Amino acid sequence: QVQLVQSGAEVKKPGASVKVSCKASGYTFISYYMHWVRQAPGEGLEWMGIINPSADSTTYAQRFQGRVTVTRDTSTSTVYMELSSLRSEDTAIYYCARNCYDSSGYYCIDYWGQGTLVTVSS
Amino acid sequence: SSELTQDPAVSVALGQTVRITCQGDNLRSDYASWYQQKPGQAPVLVIYGKNIRPSGIPDRFSGSSSGNTGSLTITGAQAEDEADYYCNSRDSSTNAFVFGTGTKVTVL
């Protein structure tokens, strides 16, 4: 069965960086793009970026350009999301989530990790 | 940047029908996908494409689209449908995705 297992909670100081991992299993890793989505406390879902693990290509939301980097390690079927220059507003649960794309050309997000809480506090 | 706008909250009587809408320019060229999120849980895909339900999603959930608006309809709402619902779509010009602002559904 498809599983996305994320790394544990992090506490960071303002200005620092955080790197969250997402280990995939139960499917062919390079065949599915992976999203990163975050959710601040009491707020909605916010899309951050996506990686094509096969081509190692990425697309980021404009508001995170220059601050977020998504990478992958095909040898361990793991995707990473690094966010730099952290500020208190980056306190959120960060999710990795698998993209689905069917033969009709429809996009969706079908599996989600358990989420990683990142707290930014001095 | 592209945006998807949803009503913040709607309520529905038990067993009645509720429609949640999502408006945005992306939806003129792409269908929305819809996600249900209950407190403390990760989102769950309920509808995508031209009204496609993943395995395990009850058939009381359905989707539709017209112009720049996508809709999720719950026909015969149940107590367990009380949750936040988010739409999502892709901007075909940038290949970036965006989530809607979210709608809190209360079942009375």
For residue A105, pLDDT beyond 90: no
Interface A-B: count of C-beta contacts within 8 A: 73
Distance from CA of B16 to the nearest CA of A (A): 26
Spatial CB neighbours of B94, under 8 Å, sequence gap ≥ 6: A59, B2
Q: Note the pLDDT of residue A103.
A: 84
For residue B39, pLDDT beyond 80: yes
Check CB contact of A1 with chain B, cutoff 8 Å.
no
Closest to A115 (Cα-Cα) out of A16, A12, A20, A13: A20
Taking only the tens place, the pLDDT of each residue in B10-23 is: 999 999 999 999 99
Positive/negative CA dihedral, B4, B10, B15, B19: negative
Taking only the tens place, the pLDDT of each residue in B60-91 is: 999 999 999 999 999 999 999 999 999 999 99
A 58-117 → B contacts, CB under 8 A: 59-63, 95, 97, 100, 102, 104, 106-110, 112-115
Q: Note the pLDDT of residue B71.
A: 97
Average pLDDT, chain B: 95
Query: What is the SS3 assignment for A62?
Result: helix
For residue B1, pLDDT beyond 60: no
DSSP state of B106: E
Taking only the tens place, the pLDDT of each residue in A66-92 is: 999 999 999 999 999 999 999 999 999
Q: Note the pLDDT of residue B2.
A: 77
Q: Hey, of A108, A110, A116, which one would you mutate to test binding to chain B, going by the most B CBs within 10 A of its CB?
A: A108
CB A37 within 8 A of CB A49: no
CB A15 within 8 A of CB A38: no
For residue A19, pLDDT beyond 60: yes
Of A46, A60, A63, the CB nearest to B99: A46
Verify whether the Cβ–Cβ distance B42 to A95 is below 8 Å: yes
Six token digits for residue B97: 């995705």
Q: Note the pLDDT of residue A79.
A: 98
Pairwise pLDDT comparison (A15 vs B1), residue with the higher score: A15
